[in-house]
Amino acid sequence: MPLPSSGPRSTLTSLAVIAAICAGATGAFAYTAGWLSPDRLTPTKLVDALAPPTGPVPGYRRNHAKGICFTGVFEANGNGTALSRARAFETGRHPALGRFNLGTPNPGAADATVRVRGLGLQITAEDGAVWRTAMINAPVFPVSNPEAFYALLRVPASKEPNAMAGFVAAHPEFAPFGAWAKSPDWTASYAQEPYNSLNAFLFTNASGAEQAVRWSFRPQAQAERITPEDLAKRGAAYLEQEITERVAAAPQRWSLILTVAEPGDPTADPSRAWPEGRRTIEAGTLVVERIEPEADGPCRDINFDPTILPDGIRVSDDPFPAARSAAYAKSYDLRTAEAKDYPKRSSEAQR
Ligand code: HEM
């Protein structure tokens, strides 16, 4: 069989092919990095915009940086199977781990300075399928889409006088979140907060029926209302100390409430609450059994990416989960590469 020619013409052809591949790869990198379209919102831009004026704190999450780990179980009561075939909804005890946190890029922020509290959660079903979610205590998100969130993050660095007033005027959807953020009735414990998905997801049940759903973990603990001034008097890291002591004394519980959209409810905009009276299903109870430090704790190396979903739950037309997934991956890559500063127990940090 004749071999392909290896003369000068074929060498040129090979070089041209290699050059074309390199150009294509460079173009792909440039596109991904946003160099070809400087106005495009990229994960890097979002993560950079989260940084406080003094710069990001190495080794820590680029947002919700202050937090503490826990382990426990999700006790499913079987009711959720009406909406989703995810095995996590089948009656039984499914291992859970997570992280209570504050919505700040500063791991040293005082508790009383941060209104938004969060819960990162991972539930693993018997078939090994993992469901990750990161939720906050606010009833709605401040803005309608990731571009508006980027604009909001850039307000503090703006040189415009009254930049925040200008932002609010241009984004009327901010008002419900703004009213909630200003309300002085905070709670005195991570255990007393509700944690809301805000983003809508599509649930598919065993018959193939599909519904848009938002979920909330509602606390079974009675809320002790407190003003931020009184919370400040209890200490800058009171919440972590309080939840550690509370869980050591008794496991803490939240009911998982699934809320089903009706036709026309906004699924692509977490700044808009769904009307009262929507069908809800109580699908089970999250039981937090053990608090562990973040340093070397089970939640430290987890990225609570809201697109990590089991079969039976998938993303909807809500643009946030995809944007969040990309930004969380960027943050995860940065913090896990900053080994020197990565939260470690002091004995290991000295090695
Ligand atoms: C485009 C919008 C958003 C951006 C850019 C963003 C960005 C981030 C980043 C970079 C992290 C740190 C991730 C890591 O290093 O593991 C984070 C954590 C978190 N975010 Fe978001 N976020 C967005 C929207 C939301 C929304 C809508 C919610 C709640 C409904 C939320 C709740 C949380 C929570 C609870 C955590 C902490 C999770 C943990 O403990 O690891 N975020 N966010």
Q: Are residues 31 and 124 part of one domain? A: no
Closest by alpha carbon to 100, among 293, 234, 332? 293
User: If you measure from the C-alpha of residue 47 to the centroid of ligand 1, how many angstroms do you get, rounded to a whole number?
Assistant: 10
Number of domains in the chain: 2
171 is an active site residue: no
Q: What is the distance between the terminal CA atoms of the chain, rounded to a whole angstrom? A: 64
With a 6 A CB cut-off, is 324 part of the ligand 1 pocket? yes
Containing domain of residue 79, as a range? 63-142+185-318
Residue nearest to atom 23 of ligand 1 (CA): 324
**Are 189 and 250 members of one domain?**
yes
Q: Is 343 near ligand 1, meaning CB less than 6 Å away?
A: no
CA of 118 to the centre of ligand 1 (A): 9
214 lines ligand 1 (CB under 6 A): no
Query: Does 154 fall in a domain?
Result: no
pLDDT in the model for residue 49: 98
Measuring from atom 34 of ligand 1, which residue has the nearest CA? 134
- Atom 13 (ligand 1): residue with closest C-alpha? 328
Give the count of alpha carbons within 13 A of 285, CB side only. 9
Whether 213 and 116 share a structural domain:
yes
In a domain? residue 160: no
pLDDT band at residue 26 under the 50/70/90 scheme: low
Percent of the chain with pLDDT over 70: 87
Could you tell me whether strands 66-76 and 252-260 are parallel, antiparallel, or unpaired per DSSP bridges?
unpaired
- Give yes or no: residues 25 and 74 share one domain: no
Local structure of residue 219 (DSSP, 8 states): E
74 CB under 6 A from ligand 1?
no
Supply the mean pLDDT for the chain.
92
Instruction: Give me the phi and psi of 253, to 5 degrees please.
Output: -130, 145
**Confidence bin at 185 (pLDDT 50/70/90):** confident
Hey, what are 229's tokens?
A: 């001034």
Hey, CA dihedral for 172, 176, 177, 182, is it positive or negative?
Answer: positive
**Given pLDDT bands bounded at 50, 70 and 90, which one contains residue 11?**
low
